[in-house]
Amino acid sequence: MAESIQISAVDIKRLWYADEDAVSADLTGTALYALVKANGSATEIKNVHQDTWTIEEGDPTQEPYKNQLTGSTYRMGAKAMGDVTFNFTIGRYDYATKKELMGGEIINTDKGWKRARGIVEVKKCLIALTQDDQYCVLPYANVVAREANTDGAVGIAVVATMLEPLNEAVMPEYWFDASEVKEGV
């Protein structure tokens, strides 16, 4: 029997975002390749400020119910899974990236940006490639981005939280070894 691929998912090598409907069927390595290739629909983020990148999964919660006579837990309530998030700060960016992740509008093609009034909802597909060549994909994520002081500059701090995709054929999170992300034959 062949030995299984062992991964650590070390740090970040490349990072992309795409429209929320970029994944419309169960994701394959070939479909992911089409998204991230040079002319694919995903947009690469070229700068992640040092030591700001993480993938985090919150602890699940579950309410224990105690037997009042013994003080021991005798059953558990429904389990709520923890949130999965991509967290990073973009240290250098263009106005188009600011608009895509924070909402608002571009001024004069690419000469500025203006914030939208009210609450802005941004949904995106996020794709990360780790240093050890593992792709992690959140096909449908809620993006909360804000301006943040990052070592003397104004970065865009991003938290992308995995959501349950509207399309039942699409899973909320995918992982692929880079050897699976290739052009179809």
Distances in Å between the alpha carbon of 163 and those of 14, 68, 118?
22, 38, 22
Q: Confidence class of residue 122 from pLDDT cuts 50, 70 and 90?
A: very high
Distances in Å between the alpha carbon of 48 and those of 14, 40, 71?
9, 21, 50
Q: Confidence class of residue 184 from pLDDT cuts 50, 70 and 90?
A: confident
| pLDDT, position 38 | 86
Distance of CA 149 to the CA centre of its chain: 22
Q: Which residues contact 169 (CB under 8 A, 6 or more apart)?
A: 25, 26
Sign of CA dihedral 132, 125, 101, 105: positive
Can you tell me whether residue 84 is helix, strand or coil? Answer: strand
Which residue segments constitute the domains of the chain, with CATH numbers given?
12-180 (4.10.410)
Q: Which percentage of the chain shows pLDDT scores above 70?
A: 99
State yes or no: pLDDT of 1 exceeds 70: no
Distances in Å between the alpha carbon of 168 and those of 24, 124, 135, 164?
10, 17, 21, 9
* Separation between Cα atoms, residue 137 and residue 134, nearest integer Å: 10
Quickly tell me which residue has 């558990």 as its tokens.
76
- According to DSSP, the residues that pair with 153 across neighbouring strands are 150
Can you tell me whether residue 32 is helix, strand or coil? Answer: helix
Distances in Å between the alpha carbon of 101 and those of 127, 147, 161?
14, 11, 13
Instruction: Give the closest residue to 125 by CA, choosing from 54, 40, 19.
Output: 19
Averaged confidence pLDDT in the chain = 95
Read off the pLDDT of each residue in 31-56 and give the average, rounded to a whole number: 95
Quickly tell me which residue has 């299984």 as its tokens.
4
